[in-house]
Amino acid sequence: MKRLCTIALLMAAATLAFASGPNMPRFRFENFTTADGLPNDHVYAVLVDGDRIWAGTDNGLGLYENGRWKTYTTADGLAHRAVLSLALDKRTGDVWAGTMGGLSRISGGRIDSFTQLNSGLSNDVVYGVSVEGENVWVATAAGACRLNLHTGEWSLYNERNTPMEEIWAYGVSATPTKVFYAIWGSGVLEYNQKTGRWNRYDDPDGQNSIVLFKDQGLVHEIVGNVSYVDDILWVGTYFGDSRYDGRYWHNFLTKDSGLPSNFTNFVKGVDANHAWFCTDKGLAYYDGVNWAVYTLSLTTHKPVMTVRDGEGNVTQIPATTGPAHNYILGIDSQGDDIWVATAEGLSHGIRQR
């Protein structure tokens, strides 16, 4: 009898494990809007700074601290009210904000802004910013540039001195060894910090809307964002996503992965095997084998969590909360928690055990 009970318990546990799918992170989402003090519901970027949360919105830069929101505007020195990107200088604690009208530095409550008129910034529309050591790397609508904080010198990079053909730089990820730029229409550019040389990765089949050669190179030329972590490059494009380990490419498409959409606004690598993908149809998490997607149902508008294992089996997990909106524009981590920028609010995903 005791053996039969043990077998029954094991079978029940196995059934439960199968029903719930792979052990993927679950979150309880708390959503912030203008009703809670957020400057604007359209959130382009989010940045975790210890216990402080920065939100780049369509109407100012928001700071969430001690349960309250504070807003920085052009009246405080912000270059433009629309804040598109954020980066933290971990050495100094300074926050850099890329806006539609220039690059701003928030330091000790003071804001200094850099524009085409008062600095060497290549263009006032700043889509991406990344801080590495004494260098601030910037992605703009007219190429890339670098500010050396020690010397104050600006370096400009465009079609004349790099392999880029288009000059719309949408994202940047800088490390002490390599700097990667997402170029809209020209793939990914890699800058070697040691040699000072540029390398370009582009779509091998050259198609604008379909993928002919799977895993033979970058999935598409129209790149919106890059994330380089643990010697792994994660790439988000408007037609799928890619992972590159320096030798092999692996591409992700909705037809053969857990991505809710091929249109990716932002990608954030966690480590060599884990990454977040912010798409126009929800937030996706990849653990190297399995996928989890956090969305709101298009028909019922109720929260939905979907898990896809490595064999393609799809399981829906009960969810009571979800992100503020399916159009996801950015993400950052705070320990086990996540903060998610959406088109209709900022979401705080509290990890559930």
How would DSSP label each residue in 186-255?
TEEEEEETTT--EEEE--TT--SS--SSTTSS-S-SBEEEEEEETTEEEEEETTEEEEE-SS-EEEE-GG
The pLDDT of residue 16 is: 36
Beta bridge partners of 112: 105
The pLDDT of residue 216 is: 85
The pLDDT of residue 218 is: 95
Which DSSP string do the residues of 53-120 spell out, in sequence order?
EEEEETTEEEEEETTEEEEE-GGGT-S-S-EEEEEE-TTT--EEEEETTEEEEEETTEEEEE-TTTS-
Tell me the pLDDT tens digit for each residue of 234-288.
999 999 999 999 999 999 999 999 999 999 999 999 999 999 999 999 999 999 9
In the chain, the domains with their CATH numbers are 21-352 (2.130.10.10)
The pLDDT of residue 185 is: 92
The pLDDT of residue 213 is: 67
Please state the pTM of the whole predicted model: 0.92
The segments of the chain whose pLDDT lies below 70 read: 1-21, 207-213
The pLDDT of residue 59 is: 98
Mean pLDDT of the chain: 92
The pLDDT of residue 204 is: 84
The pLDDT of residue 209 is: 60
